[in-house]
Amino acid sequence: MVAATIAGMFLVCFESLCTCFGTKRKDESEDHVLAEHSNSCYFGKVYRATLRDGRVVAIKRAKKENFVSLRTEFSNEVALLKSIEHKNLVRLLGYIDKPNERILITEYVPNGNLREHLDGQHGLVLGFNQRLEIAIDVAHGLTYLHLYAEKPIIHRDVKSSNILLTEGFMAKVADFGFARTGPTEPGQSQIETDVRGTAGYLDPEYLRSNHLTIKSDVFSYGVLLLEILSGRRPIEARRGPTERITVRWAFYKYNRGNVRDILDPMLTEAVNENILNRIFDLAFQCVAPTREDRPSMKEVVERLWKIRRDHTKIQRIAELTL
């Protein structure tokens, strides 16, 4: 099955891969479909497969009509994924790159994506502690991309459906099709590129100027943090005009001291108001209109650590007084 080994990964024989599905053609095996790929128009369904060595993997296959046009995006995703390794980033295991077939093979993350859990599709409500840990995990992954990868990497599509969860609810950032290497020259802070990403998460400065920086990911992360806490999507089209854009709605509540009104109503546990204020303060700094006013992801991680530490202390004191 393995055609070649490259830096711990492999190029795979497509015919052998199909047998892992127990079917003649992989796209006929609907029982193995994990999800429709939502990152871009190029990829179709995401499949689950068991390789001959017993490993369960996720398979992302390009749509047939896009084999040619996908070349740059596919090569970009492979090159970036080959260069990174972090527990909070989905790991590339192998790939197929042929004129008529392009497939990415990544680690299988079994517990669906964050958006599904916020929507209650898995039958359990994420508790506040779980949400805080997920937020920290994502921040860790982005900090690695921005600071500790071989070259700075800007994800460009940070959103809840691109955050996969393990059985233990560890978060892993996925889908690097839109990712770009960031500025590498001394004194350079941005790169010019066509706008890519998802409505509701896009950095407004990037949207206006086509200038992409690591602070563009910080903006998207701020939107995600509000989504994690509120349960709302960034754009809620069915709501009234004042509630349609979650960031604006949440900021209105925050400015009037009504932070508890922002919390997901499915969260029934009591959370200290000072803790909530600090998290929302961080989220709104991340979505500041100008990049200079946004923190780095490293600062986000450090502040979330302190918030978690203080939240844990408050919980322990509350338990002792019961």
List b or e across 43-73, with b for residues whose CB sees 16 or more CB atoms inside 10 angstroms: bbbbbbbebeeeeebbbbbbbeebbeebeeb
Task: Please give the positions annotated as active site.
Answer: 157
What is the amino acid identity at position 152?
A: P
* pLDDT band for position 237 (cuts 50, 70, 90): very high
Residues of the chain with CATH 1.10.510.10: 114-320
How far apart (Å, rounded) are the C-alpha atoms in residues 151 and 145?
Answer: 8
Q: Which residues pair with 103 in a beta bridge?
A: 61, 96
pTM for the model stands at 0.88
Instruction: Determine the Cα–Cα distance for residues 20 and 97; give it in Å rounded to an integer.
Output: 18
Two tokens, residue 297: 């992801």
Would you say residue 26 has pLDDT above 90? no
The DSSP code for 15 is H
Q: Which homologous superfamily is 114-320 in? A: Transferase(Phosphotransferase) domain 1 (1.10.510.10)
* pLDDT of 288 strictly over 90: yes
For the chain, the C-alpha Rg in angstroms (whole number) is 20
CATH superfamily of this structure's domain 2-107: Phosphorylase Kinase; domain 1 (3.30.200.20)
Q: Has residue 76 got a pLDDT over 90?
A: no
Residue 289 CA neighbour count, 13 Å, CB half: 3
Q: Where in the chain is the domain with CATH 3.30.200.20?
A: 2-107
pLDDT given at position 52: 82
Pick the more confident residue, 96 or 232.
232
Give the CA-trace dihedral at 43, 48, 49, 55, to 10 degrees.
120
Asked if residue 6 has pLDDT above 50, the reply is no
